[in-house]
Structure 1
């Protein structure tokens, strides 16, 4: 005989299943908001790109300065040797300036070489970061496709289960539904417990013979200890099998 308690137990199973699937759906939807691995790969690439651009800019600045110094050396050496300047004091000053410029040229040449090496290292890091980013993007595309399928499947499943809940609720006495909802609000699920070997299947406390008889008769009876609704144990209630 299917009693109100059995119907409520079935309703509970459906609602527990729905709650479980809704939590899974929330997790899937959270995962769909983005990949931490991809976000990190994007940050790494952006940082590497900025570092490379800065290294190349520094290299160009030093190369430009070196070019200017070399042009100035040529200009001053031409003045030194073309005979346009005859004053010994002025010639000495030009020679001193050329010597100073050549020292600066040597220093800049070393700096340009170091900057070139730094730019090459930065480019290598940028290229490696770009490769890692492409791999992360490919992985995310595959994972997102799976997540989207899971989302669609869970959404369809929940729609079917919600329909079952609505249909089942329509077959249960309104007063029994009210009691079920009251207990659910107080205790949360589960609120229906199978009666197993004369004890409550949730709290394990023995149930009086009077209540056992009432349960077997199909009355809606609550456990004297945990206040859950008691249902006569069947294969389904004993195994807590999902609907």
Structure 2
């Protein structure tokens, strides 16, 4: 078998490895572009936080309204108390007691309003942070989508070119040799034609027996590594 056959087969293998890399890249890009999991999760989280923000805002409005209503009632009764219009001692005592009770209620409602305000502010802050995160994710994805779109266009040219190159190379290689090579690639994948260097298979690094080494050095027949089962050849 002419030594040149192994040189061409090595060239073919490099083309195959490049095609493998290109196709893996296409698959990775397509998988990445189809995966909107992070964005969808961020949108769901934002929707939930938006709902919480709306609920806490409504609670705050109710608390503020209740406080304002009670404050107005206290002010109204206080004016009546100090206006001099009430002169009956029992009525004055009852009015004072009523105002005192309302003041206690107002203190409680002030606490409720303060708690509601803190909750509303926290909910709004969480909502805004999540919205910023979603916008960042969407911007990153849009940029990646644009970059990958360009790369897919490049690969759409590169892959057919390499496939044509492979066809041309395969036509120049002994059919028996290429059949063995393709059978090994189907079984082992990756690199199946490996160089012998310093008496060792450069894939598994096992030293070759002398007889096998001499056969591999001649590049005149198909020789397999006894350890990893790959095709062996030596540099010219």
Question: Is TM more than 0.5 here?
Answer: yes
Aligned pairs (5 A) from 1:46-125: 46-66=47-67, 100-125=101-126
1:76, distance to aligned residue in structure 2 (A): 9.6
Query: Which range moved further: 195-204 or 151-160?
Result: 195-204
Cα deviations by residue, 1:193-216 (Å, 9 ceiling, x for unpaired): 234456544445346468746864
SS of 2:173's equivalent in the other structure is coil
1:52, distance to aligned residue in structure 2 (A): 1.6
Q: Paired residue for 2:233?
A: 231
Aligned pairs (5 A) from 1:1-243: 3-34=4-35, 42=43, 45-66=46-67, 100-196=101-197, 199-202=200-203, 203-206=205-208, 208=210, 212=214, 216=218, 218-223=220-225, 226-234=228-236
CA change 1:188–1:133 in 2 (3 A) is closer
Cα distance between partner residues in 1 of 2:124 and 2:216: 81
CA change 1:19–1:90 in 2 (3 A) is same
Cα distance between partner residues in 2 of 1:204 and 1:43: 56
Cα deviations by residue, 1:23-77 (Å, 9 ceiling, x for unpaired): 3333333333357775675466445423321210211232344466568879999
Cα deviations by residue, 1:128-162 (Å, 9 ceiling, x for unpaired): 44334334433332233223323332343223222
CA change 1:44–1:182 in 2 (3 A) is same
Unaligned stretches of 5+ in structure 1? 78-88, 235-243
Contact 1:4/1:218, CA 8 A, preserved across alignment: no
Query: Which range moved further: 157-166 or 99-108?
Result: 99-108
TM-score in terms of structure 1 length: 0.67
1:233, distance to aligned residue in structure 2 (A): 0.8
Aligned residues: 232
Cα deviations by residue, 1:101-124 (Å, 9 ceiling, x for unpaired): 553343223312332243234323
